[in-house]
Amino acid sequence: MSTYPPGSGAPSAAGEEFWAALPSASLPVPDLISGRFPIMDVSPTVESGRRPAKAAVGELITVEATVVREGHDALGVDVVPIRPDGTRALPVPMVPTNPGLGRWLATMRPDTEGMWGFTIEAWSDPYGTWTHRAEVKIPAGVDVELEFEEGALVLSRAAEGMPASTREPLLAAIAALRNTDLPEEARLAAGTGRKVRDALARHPLRDLVTASGPWPLFVDRRRALFGAWYEFFPRSEGATATKSGTLSQAAERLPAIADMGFDVVYLPPIHPIGTINRKGANNTLDPGPDDPGSPWAIGSAAGGHEAVHPDLGTIKDFDAFVARTRALGMEVALDFALQAAPDHPWATAGKPWFLLRADGTIAYAENPPKKYQDIYPMWFDGDPAGLLKESLRILHHWMDHGVRIFRVDNPHTKPVRFWDALLGEIRRTDPDVLFLAEAFTKPPMMRALAEVGFHQSYTYFTWRNEKWELEQYLHYLAGEAAAYMRPNFFTNTPDILHAYLQYGGPAAFAIRATLAATLAPTYGVYSGFELFEHVAVKPGSEEYLDTEKFSYRPRDYAAAEAAGTTLAPYLTRLNDIRRRHPALQQLRTITFHHVEDENIIAFSKQDGDDTVIVVCTLDPHAARESVIHLNMPALGMDWHESFRVRDEITNTNFEWREHNFIRLDPHVHCAHILHLRQGAA
């Protein structure tokens, strides 16, 4: 145990030295500006470029910057993607989105994993300056021949730096500009024509090039952005009220999960469970002889974080479970809970990783008024170097057994710098390994964890049920937070059974599944959701009655399917729609549309030529009728244009326009998921 005075909480000398000497994973600050023109407010960026912004393979990333110049001459702005090997991709022209505010925008779509970057380049545009001036002055008869000659000189400069194969339109235009036998209108048209503009769009004449960057952008594998998670306890599969199921029995559940279209199977801790202070059913302090305890009370004489609970089987059984999951096209996500039961080998071996109270006992976990007598939290100021080394050892152990995704329990109760070091090391050695932060905490801490490397985060979605709060939250997640945090919208968890699900009936489950699956690229459900499990331990509580955290919970899925009392077919439909529509695999492109009824929400998403409009009722009890007013430019159309949509839920077609009547009965269909068809209706 630790040697400092019990109850003092004083960090050890080794702890102080570790935190002081721990190298930072921060990157050098990019050049904010190098040249003639101001480049400001670049996005996406994190901590002024000290941390990489987040992206995923195939994700459409919007790059923006504020760029201005003195006077009235034309300005061009490009974004130049920089690939992981350091090579520069072709510049992507940025377009002004608000000329009065000098805001410019472009998109890029990274196609490989690794540390990308991008540079903003602003440049004086001699051709744009000339065309603007010439199109005003020549028709007015001002400096006509002088303007024609200056245009010819600009095009001559441009032609010199252009490949010979694309130079011909410019040479023809130069000749026309200097040909005084042609009408002035024809000479001007030759110098400003489409062929000339197209050639200069491919090979612009750029003066006084000013660069800002490179701004870092780490591109993760696609699963970091898009996926559907299914959480279940292996010990409940094939279990009885008094006997645990096994990993082999749990593997029999995997085909049904795959058939529903889920991508990730998330397992709570599968390690030995402590016997000291073990909790009984419904979190009681008097367990019976057959109560299994909480999986998060990790460790006993049978082993710690690297062991498999003997009741579940062996490490070979786990390997077989992982192999079966992969064969079905899914991945295993394993819980990483950095805490220990009182009989964990860490505690019994006297590791200096626990805080002692004034009476010499180890402090158990508390979140007043909640108490977790069966769990010791870790103390990070006694031997943080040893704790970091042990954590890396455990993670690599499970990585060696096929786990490439970890759901981290309560990371906000551990030092952010610890995660900075741990996640940085894993990214260095195994950049494909993903981490989900189970951090139901304050926004600044959620942001800090995301910035230091967590790939995804639990969110407040579970508690956002009104239209205004959903819209407000999504504006934040798809806006300023998109650079650093990816949300994972779980509909429910073993800890969270929201009152909306408790009292909303089956329609509430369909509504929340629809919102989670279409608002966020990644979402998840906890098993029992498809069976409409909704009974809380007591009124006002979000805890399930007979919660699976402390008891076995065998479920009869076959009986529910036979009786038609399962949401599984609808979840299957949602997951199929998500996979077929790239628009639903994006977050940043979301646009909300006005519906007169506050109990109906409407939004659209786009990716390339794929556009999806989602209209969902928020009322699980009664049918709702209203009018939706679409933001037509956000859909890429004129205000009075009509268009065709196909409802992916019902396979029916509609003709829509700016204003549309809608009726949604949650007991029939709670939502329209509309694929916008190309072409007029």
Nearest to 247 by CA among 231, 236, 263, 262: 236
Q: In what order do the strands lie in the sheet with 671-676?
A: 652-656, 643-647, 671-676, 610-617, 600-607, 591-595, 624-629, 659-664
* Tokens standing for residue 593: 């549309």
For the chain, the maximum distance between any two Cα atoms, rounded to a whole number of angstroms, is 105
CA 669 to chain centre: 28
149 catalytically annotated: no
At 558, the amino acid letter reads A
CA 559 to chain centre: 36
Rounded distance between C-alpha atoms, residue 96 and residue 248, angstroms = 58
At 276, the amino acid letter reads I
User: Which one of 220, 331, 390, 438 is the catalytic residue?
Assistant: 438
Give the count of alpha carbons within 13 A of 359, CB side only.
3
User: Which one of 383, 409, 420, 533 is the catalytic residue?
Assistant: 409
- What lies within 8 Å, CB to CB, of 329 at 6+ separation is 258, 263
Helix (H) or strand (E) holding 541: none
Nearest 5 degrees, angle CA 259-CA 265-CA 270?
140
Nearest to 271 by CA among 242, 239, 241, 305: 305
Residue with token string 């009741």: 311
438 catalytically annotated: yes
- What lies within 8 Å, CB to CB, of 376 at 6+ separation is 339, 340, 341, 342, 344, 347, 354, 362, 363, 364, 365
At 14, the amino acid letter reads A
Helix (H) or strand (E) holding 61: strand 61-67
Cβ of 8: how many Cβ atoms within 10 Å? Answer: 11
At 488, the amino acid letter reads N
**Which residues are the active-site residues?**
409, 438
